[in-house]
Amino acid sequence: MRSILDQLRQAGLDRIHAKLLEGRRLTFDDGMRLYQTPDLTAVGYLANLARERKSGARTYFVRNLHVNYTNICNKLCKFCSFYAAPNSTDGRGYVLSPEEAAARVAKYSGEPIREIHMVAGINPKLPYQYYLDLLRAVKAARPDAQIKAFTMIELAQIARAAKRSLAEILPELRAAGLTACPGGGAEVFSDRVHEELFRAKLDNQGWFDVARAVHAAGIPSNATLLYGHIETQEEKVRHLLHIRELQDETGGFMCFVPLAFDPGRTELSHLPVTTGYANLREIAMARLLLDNFPHVKAFWIMITPAVAQMALWYGADDIDGTVSHYEITHALGTTSHRQVLGTAELLDLIAEVGREPVERDALYNPVEEPTATGTGSAVAVGYPCRASGAGGC
């Protein structure tokens, strides 16, 4: 396309374009240049090249179910409005017993759910046995679905509760039903941001160590970046390059999920909502810098279905699931205030923009004979955290 080639030249991106065509890896400086390029179409074009090289037109989605087993959390992150502090007296705090969690999952026995996404707060009162019982009970209630559970932050807490090493407990968690881990809790790998927004949380090195242990135990995971608060472009590029380095080392990451910060009801509620440009740009940046990640996800609940649909041409090859009752983010800026997408609607969104829908399981294996029946087959249970922390994908 001549017009795009002109645009790339005018935007000063022709050298990066050449690198991509030669399959060469982008550098920190390339990342900064891409962030600073106002021409989103040019950046999107490059990201789409990388996307189509990995996945062609394929766009993955999953029928998933969310379970948030507790909202009690001692991390007090400034960007979170989900948590109830352990000593709070407002009555908002809850813990689901393994039986209650299983009962909620069992309610959706008629739906062809493939993945149960289970994340929560860091509740210091829960013993190690609770987590094993939780996995077993949920797995027993839904043996045909895979459990993707526990962010790196939760896993660090589970090891603490067990008073044993991750290397020892991960095989036990796996035997109890754990298939994969979500990528939340990474936030931004910057000591400055860590100190300002989530100082009580596992530090950046700690996150890497847990992820290494998880991958070493043969459990794949995702990774995330929480953007749209106080982080700088430089911090975001460094974050992506750290993750890329770790992926070079372990190869255990499946998907990268840029998470748009939703300031509503948090301690940072004075900040504006992320823009559509920012949503598309973060997807594109992840796709361009993370050359060793198989997938990049557009999480429609946070960026709206309309932007997620467009993101399928700006680097994303995964659009998450047909979630409903997800109380995470308000998705301010949606064309309506609905938070439910039926499977048929999701398939339409993908196909309308010229992409090919592929139903997947938690490990990105294609599901045979995808069906478009059922309404919102993925359902959130409990009250997931807003914008990352315990909520992250």
Binding site for another protein (CB under 8 A): 1-4, 7, 21, 35-41, 44-45, 48-49, 52, 272-273, 275-280, 303-307, 309-310, 313, 333-336, 348-349, 352-354
- Over the Cα atoms of the chain, what is R_g? 20
Q: Give the residue with the Cβ less far from another protein, 95 or 332.
A: 332
Q: What is the 8-class DSSP label of residue 72?
A: B
Which helix (H) or strand (E) element contains residue 116?
strand 115-118
Q: Give me the least distance between CB of 49 and another protein, in Å please.
A: 7
Q: Give the residue with the Cβ less far from another protein, 292 or 334.
A: 334
Q: Give the residue with the Cβ less far from another protein, 175 or 351.
A: 351
Q: Give me the least distance between CB of 24 and another protein, in Å please.
A: 15
**Sequence-ordered alpha helix ranges (H) in the chain:** 2-10, 14-22, 28-35, 40-55, 98-106, 128-141, 152-162, 166-176, 191-197, 204-216, 233-250, 276-289, 300-303, 305-311, 343-352
**Sequence-ordered alpha helix ranges (H) in 36-165:** 40-55, 98-106, 128-141, 152-162
Q: Give me the least distance between CB of 141 and another protein, in Å please.
A: 35
Q: Give the residue with the Cβ less far from another protein, 172 or 345.
A: 345
Q: Give me the least distance between CB of 366 and another protein, in Å please.
A: 22
Alpha carbons within 13 angstroms on the beta-carbon side of residue 326 total 35
Neighbours of 107 (CB within 10 A): 12
Residues 6 or more apart whose CB falls under 8 angstroms from that of 138 comprise 67, 98, 101, 102, 105, 116, 118, 147, 177
Q: Give me the least distance between CB of 299 and another protein, in Å please.
A: 14
Q: Give me the least distance between CB of 296 and another protein, in Å please.
A: 16
Q: Give the residue with the Cβ less far from another protein, 1 or 89.
A: 1
Q: Give the residue with the Cβ less far from another protein, 64 or 279.
A: 279
Residue pair 280/44 in contact by the 8 Å Cβ criterion: yes
